[in-house]
Every structure is written in structure tokens, then in C-alpha cells.
Amino acid sequence: MAKTTLAVQAFISAYDSTSLVSQKLDDAIEVMCCSKSFRSLILALVHSPAFSEELGKEFEVAGAIAGLSACRSLRSCLNFSIGRFFGLLAEVISAFDQTVGEDWNKFANRIHGSNFRAGKLLERLLRSADSGFYQNLATHLVDENPHAVYPTSSYRESQASVVSTDDDQIIEAVMTSRTFTSIRVVENCLDPEETVLRDTYIAHGRCVCMVDQNVENYYGDQIETYFKHHGIHLEKLVYRAMEVDKGIHTVERMLGDFKMIGVCRNEPVLIIGGGVLTDTGGLACALYHRNTPYVMLSTSIVAGIDAGPSPRTCCDGFGYKNLFGAYHAPILSLTDRSFFKTLREGWLRHGIAEIIKMATVKNLELFEYLEQAGPDLIETRFGTLDCEPGDRISVLSQKILGAALRSYVEAEYDNLYETHQCRPHAYGHTWSPGFEIEAGLLHGHAVAIGMGFGAYLSYRDNWITADECHRILRLISSFGLSLWNDVLQNKETLWASQVKIVEKRGGNLAAPLPKGEIGKCGYLNSMAQEELYEAVSAYRQICNEYPRQGLGVDPLCSDVGLEDPSTVGHSLMETVKTHSTETPEVLSPV
């Protein structure tokens, strides 16, 4: 039964929202606290199955998905500030009825401007004429649902079952942890009229914001103007975030900055940047207080449809990609294509590889969108240059971003802690981690090579037809991405890459490949050394028939203004050889 949505709808019907404007704030809150409809709403919110699939279906049926994240957060509403509670409540109500929601948003804005906005909701309820009801509720929740009254995080919950022998010398436990997040495609989120960031931070009173140095150069003033306009104090931390900066030293600096400005455990940090800052900043948040929430505002394609919503935070170590990391998803991930207009073509191309990845093994419709868009996607910066909002490429760009995000999230979040290796989103990532740094390749080009080689392997094993194989290769090549790089001729590198990925994947190769047709996935789990070399040789001949003989356009990090990671990687490996008792060969890339 749809108890939560029914309670919200009943509250909307029972309460005269127009009275919110005419009454004094404290009087309006007092009347509301003592109403039967409000008490029923509070009970429904704190007892809602926030992490259940059923609640999502409720909101989907009601056509109110836009309010689902706020509703889930409101399970901890008794612990919220008055300002945060009414801000989230207005968001929920707006999802059901936009007109009524406008009244509630005005009321929430009045509270945000008051001197009691920071007081806790429960403390206010306990001062109301109906204090007995709320006192009994709070006492009951301490034992029955502590997440509702004393939460550390509004976005997670955990449970456990424990059994033991009579003498307690053997104890067995099963632990579960659940979390939720929201992923949104937005437009011009730094425009003061777009309130998604404002609504996230106004109740906290400030925003701790990590910014990519390149983003700061283009948008630093706009970021400051946005938060100043909404009266939110901004603590801005700027970091250089090139591939060579993706090390533990960067994460350590971030942790020191968090400590210096006193980041709170329930205060979401805002990360504005591309894939490198996404990975390192997310890892810093995972480590600080063991669980500091963060909001991801992606400014690149890789971040926007892959690294941004990903729960896998990480940094490089000892010359290997993503050796250190933690599973820590953002509470909110925003993809805003307006940032793409300032990206170099090489960075756009690099990001499109991750979209092709999801299209090839997860979403045929997305694959067809990419074929329809073609190089226009790069030339128009996803419909943000020399385009009107209703233009074909603009509409198609939004469809591509949305479909890519949905496909990625479906694949990634169903295996949140990477507990198995049936991971379609690892397509193109089986051999590429081993040669990406050595060749100095942009990640997208390395992945594209892995995808092209994977498509050939799929055809070789009769998993897809020759036409389907070439259709995949044509799409990769049409965006100027690499099908080939001479690093593949380094047999030692290629085989070592496979050995290490098998170690990482629990003893399995589990290479995701298109199988059956484009948009579906299978897993190759066996590839002998000589077989690998023969396959690469055959693939090289196929690549020769493609434009540029399969070579990419600006495939290297140095081609797009980034430092060469192969140089840094070599330097780090020399350090390992000098200072470690273990040889580099025992270290596995992640």
C-alpha cells in the first residue's frame, strides 16, 4: 500500500497553504505542529521505507519522482533544523502539486531568513501545545528506529543479525548497509534562478566547495556570485587536478584542508570539476570522519556520466591506476552540459568513449543516438555552441546524457561494492589499465582501444556478427577515438596487464564484451598468452583499414595540455624500487 505518498497527498489536501503567507512564522508553525494532518505526515515520513524499491515505485506511480530524494532524507526530519525540514518538505510538495509547492517554497524562504531557522525541528515540536505526542514519539524511536531521531547520516542505514553459542565463544554476524543518491541532468546550475545548489546548502548556512583549478579559471567568479546571491557562506578550496595529480599526496592535502576549516560529518562537501577531482575529492570525503557526504557537480563528460555518480572513489599509487580507493557514492550528482562549451575537443572526445562503452554493452537505443549525433556532438559541445534549446543536436545531446547516466547507474549500483565481476561498465577496461600510463594515453583513448579490441574478440568467438563488429569500430573511429596504439605491440606490457587484471578480478578474466547483439553483454574468461598475441596481430590488420589506420586524434595527455603520466609513473616506480622491499611486479593495478 502506498502509505507515504498517500500521507503527503492527504497533508496537501488538508492544509490551507495560503495561510502560510498571512500568519506570523512562529504562529504558523505552532498551528501546523498541532494539526492532525501534520502529525500523520511526520509519522509517515519517519516510518517510511526510505531505502526500499517500493517507495521509489510509489513516487513513480504518483508522477512525483522529483520529490523522492527529499522524502527519503526526511526520515531523519526530527533531527533536522527547522529551515532544512521545511525546505525539503516544500520540495516534496512541489513534486506533487507545483502550484501549492510555490506557497510552501515561499514559506520555506521566510524561515531561511528568520532567526530561528537553525533550531532543531524536534526541539520546536517539544515546545508546542502537542509536546506530549512528540515526546512519546521521540522516546519510542530511540529503541525502534534510531536512524530517525539520532542519525549520523541521513543517507545511510545499517542493520545486523548476530547469533552466538551459549558461552559466547563463537559469534557470527551478518551486516547490511544501504544508501541512496540522486542523479540529475540540469541546465545552467550556476544561474541564481536555478536553485538546486541553493536548496542543498541554505539550511547548512555555508558550502565547503572543492574546485578544479581549470574550472576556477573559467567559473570561479560565477560560483562566488551564485552563493553570495543566496546568502550562503562559501569556503572555496582550489586544487590542480591533472592526471599526474591523482595521487595520495593530493588526497592528504584535501584532508588537511577539511580539518582546518572544520568540515562537519553531516555537511555535504560540494565538488566541482572533472574526473580527477571527482575521484580524489570523493576519496577524501570517504576517509574524513569515515563518511562525509558530498555533492558532485560534474564539469566534464567523464565525470558527468561515469566518475561523477560512481561509488568508486580512488587515486593512483606506485605508478598504477586507482590503486587506493573506497566505495563512497555522492548523495547528489549533477550533470550540466553548459560546462562543456569551454572544453577542448580532445577532452570531449575522451569523455564520449565512456558513453560508447555503456551503449555497446548495455543500451542499443543509446548506441543509435550516438550514431545519429556523430561528430556534431563534439563540434557543438553537446548542443551548447551555436545552438538553440530546441535544435536537433541539443535535444539529442540531452537524450544521450540521460540514457548514458541511467545505463551506468543501473549497472554500477546493482554491484555497489564490486562483489562480483559481471560488470558491463568495465567494457574496454580489461587490458587498458596496463598500457594507459605507459603509452601516455588519455583514459578515453585507452578505453576506446580496449573496446575496439573487445569487439574484435566478440566477433572472433561468434558472439556478434562481422557487421556488428564493424558498426562498433566505425562509431569509435567516427569520434576520432583510438582503435589502435603501438603500445599493443609491447607483448610484455599486454600480458602483464592481463595477469594483473585477473588478480584484481578474483582469479577471473571476466572481460565484458558485446554478446548476442549490440546493447547486450557477455564475459570472456579465458585467453591464453599466445592466443592474446595472435588476436592483437589480427586486430592490427583490421585497424589498418580504418581512417588514420586506427590511430586517434590527439590521443595523448600531452596532446590536450596535460602532463605525460608515463613520465610520472616511471618516476614513481623508480621510487618503489629504491624504497620498497617488494618488487613492482607484485603490485596490482586497480
Q: Residue 321: which residues within 8 A CB-CB, separation 6 or more?
A: 433, 436, 437, 589, 590
pLDDT digits (tens, 9 = 90+) for 351-385: 999 999 999 999 999 999 999 999 999 999 999 99
Q: Quick one: pLDDT at residue 296?
A: 97
**Is the per-residue pLDDT at 308 higher than 50?**
yes
CA distance between the termini of the chain: 44
* Cβ atoms within 10 Å of 525's Cβ, excluding its own: 13
Q: What is the mean pLDDT of the chain?
A: 91
**Is the per-residue pLDDT at 580 higher than 60?**
no
Mean pLDDT of the 19-46 span: 89
pLDDT digits (tens, 9 = 90+) for 517-550: 999 999 999 999 999 999 999 999 999 999 999 9
Q: Quick one: pLDDT at residue 588?
A: 29
β pairing state of 320-327 and 312-317: antiparallel
Q: Would you state the cell numbers that stand for residue 197, as one nine-digit string?
A: 545548489
Reported as a pLDDT band with limits 50, 70 and 90, residue 244 is confident
Whole-number Å distance between alpha carbons of 91 and 85: 10
The pTM for the full model equals: 0.89
Sort residue 18 into left (φ over 0), alpha (ψ -120 to 50) or beta: alpha
Distance of alpha carbon 76 from the chain centroid: 23
Distance of alpha carbon 497 from the chain centroid: 27
| Ramachandran angles phi, psi of 233, nearest 5° | -65, 130
Alpha carbon separation from 408 to 277, 348, 350, 414, 487 (Å, rounded): 19, 18, 17, 10, 29
**Is the per-residue pLDDT at 284 higher than 60?**
yes
CA atoms within 13 A on the CB side of 377: 28
**Is the per-residue pLDDT at 176 higher than 70?**
yes
**Is the per-residue pLDDT at 137 higher than 60?**
yes
Alpha carbon separation from 414 to 97, 362, 410, 542 (Å, rounded): 32, 14, 6, 36
Reported as a pLDDT band with limits 50, 70 and 90, residue 568 is low
Domains of the chain: 3-149 (no CATH), 182-343 (3.40.50.1970), 405-572 (1.20.1090.10)
Percent of the chain with pLDDT over 70: 95
Q: Quick one: pLDDT at residue 321?
A: 76
Q: Residue 143: which residues within 8 A CB-CB, separation 6 or more?
A: none
